Chains A and B, each alone.
Chain A
Amino acid sequence: QVHLVQSGSELKKPGASVKISCKTSGYTFTNYAVNWVRQAPGQGLEWMGWINTNTGNPTYAQAFRGRFVFSMDTAVSTAYLQISGLKAEDTAIFYCAREGYSRGRYYFDQWGQGTLVTVSS
C-alpha cells in the first residue's frame, strides 16, 4: 500500500528556516515524481513545483524560486522541502503528492497528510 507520511507541525519565528520531510513507502521511490503544494489558511491549492526522483532535478513555480528548496534521499525514499527566511505569509499547510501516470496523463494520486508551518514572532 502506498503511503506518503509527512513530518509534524512546525512553529517558527520570522527569518528562521524549516525543513519538511515526506517519507514514502509501498512503491519504488524513483519511479514517480514528487510534487509540493501549498495551502494558505482558508485558501485554495497552489502548486509549488516538483522534484524528479530519478535525477534529483527540482522544478519550481515562479512564486517559489529563491527561498524554497526541494531535495531528496533515495536511500530512505524521502523527499524534503526546505524554506529559508520564513515570513508570516509563509504560514500554510504544505503537502507532498506523488505524481502518478497512465497513458501519458499525469495526476496526483497519493498525498501526504500535510504539514502545518506557522510563522509567528
Chain B
Amino acid sequence: DIQMTQSPSSLSASVGDRVTITCRASQSISDYVNWYQQRVGQAPQLIIHSASNLLSGVPSRFSGSGSGTDFTLTVNGLQPEDFATYYCQQTYSTPRTFGQGTKVEIK
C-alpha cells in the first residue's frame, strides 16, 4: 500500500498569512494526488485534483504543486473560511490512501 505522510499535523496562522502543507508518498505516484478541505462538522470537499488542478469555484489563493513523491498545498493570504483540516490523497493505486490531515488553526 502507498503511504501518504502529511506535515505538519497542525499549524497556527493568522489571516493573510501564507501557509504551506506538504505530503510525501511512500513511492512515486506521478501527479495522482488530490487535496481536500474539511471544515468542522462538514463533509470533505475537493479543492485540487491531479496535484495542481484547482477545482472550479475554489479561490485562486489555493494552489498545488509536485510530482513523484513530494507534493505541496499552498494558501496565499489565508482567509477566515480557510481554517479547516486539509487532507492529501493518492489515487495512483488501490487502496486510495489519505494523509493523516493538517489542521489549520487561528493564531
Chain A residues at the B interface, C-beta cutoff of 8 Å: 35, 37, 44-47, 49-50, 59, 61-62, 95, 97, 100, 102-103, 105-109, 111-114
Contacts and interface: CB of A to CB of B under 8 A. Distances in A.
B12 to A, nearest CB: 19
Contact of A112 (B43, B53, B96): B43
Main SS class of interface, B? loop
A111 B49 contact: no
B43 A113 contact: yes
B31 to A, nearest CB: 7
Contact of A108 (B36, B50, B99): B36
Interface string B32-43: 101010100001
Main SS class of interface, A? strand
Given A61-B95, A105-B49, 12 more contacts: A37-B44, A46-B98, A47-B98, A105-B31, A105-B91, A106-B32, A107-B34, A107-B89, A108-B36, A108-B44, A109-B46, A113-B43
Interface in B33-89: 34, 36, 38, 43-46, 49-50, 53, 55, 87, 89
Contacts of A97: 44
Contact of B101 (A44, A105, A114): A44
A111 B87 contact: no
A35 B94 CA distance: 12
A47 B31 CA distance: 19
Please indicate which of the listed interface residues A46, A49, A108 has the most CB atoms of chain B within 10 Å of its own CB: A108
B35 to A, nearest CB: 9
Nearest to A109: B46
A103 to B, nearest CB: 8
A108 B43 CA distance: 12
A105 B38 CA distance: 22
A44 B96 contact: no
